[in-house]
Amino acid sequence: MRLRSFCTFALALGAVLPAASQPAPAGKPAAPARAEVLVLGVYHMANPGRDVFNMQADDVLAPRRQAEIEQLTAVLAKFRPTKIAVEGEAGDDRIPKRYADYLAGKHDLTRNEIEQIGFRLAKALGHETVYPVDVEGDFPFQRLVNYAKGTGRAKELDAILGDMGGMVKAQDAYLASHTVLETLLYMNSDEKVAEGVGLYYRQGTIGEPGDWPGADLVSDWFRRNMRIYSNVVQLASSPAERVLVVFGAGHLGWLQQDFAANPNLRLRKLAELVEATAPR
């Protein structure tokens, strides 16, 4: 009995000792380098009323706001972008021309966030140009309105639009008592991004089999953002690229989803840069 127990122990020990004497398996190979994309959702600082997420911005040229934008660009510089993409029509050379004039001292920054953030940061980083990547689209919103009125769902649509207005008013109030950086952190938070995307998806439910005005409207918006995404991906031509995308906040959640789903890219967020620079 004892001999059998000893043999069993010896066999078990023999199985363990060789394994213990072998070197530990090498760690997993390092993940391949990936181009990085940071989408910065902004309010339209010149307040042109371009989308439903637009705020009633105060004067960004006021000394207080100018100092705050300098603070913002200092944070964004931590991302070390190699290229800066902005909300201008792809292929239109007017924005790159204005940037060239700005570098040459022939153009003063306007209130537009393309210039206040994009131009200012690009110059600080020594970039030769900026990259317009926007794509215009056709959004048949009136078709949705007409359908909602004709099918007794006008109150449902009004509630969605009311929630959109409430979100913008909340952003207005936040900006009034916070810095530009703080406001953009608020607007770019995961909670607010999800809220904004959700407002679109709620519109997508208004329709019926054979007539989908809400779904078609949201699909058109999705297509526009996919085309913008494609334009940005062309800029991320190597794993060493770090592309900053400065766009109206209505695009933010959609573009983030697009870039996050691409395994060859790494999505970055504004909050990461602030956390990296916060005092320990």
pLDDT tens digits, 51-62: 555 555 789 999
Q: Are 116 and 69 in contact (CB under 8 A)?
A: yes
**Whole-angstrom Cα distance, residue 13 to residue 3?**
15
Alpha helices in 61-208 (DSSP H): 63-76, 94-103, 113, 120-124, 141-150, 154-176, 180-187, 190-203
In contact, 249 and 170? CB cutoff 8 Å: no
- Count the residues in the chain: 280
Summarize pLDDT for 183-208 with one digit per residue, the tens: 999 999 999 999 999 999 999 999 99
pTM across the whole model: 0.85
Q: Can you give the residue ranges of every domain in the chain?
A: 35-277
**Euclidean distance between CA atoms 209 and 206, whole angstroms:** 11
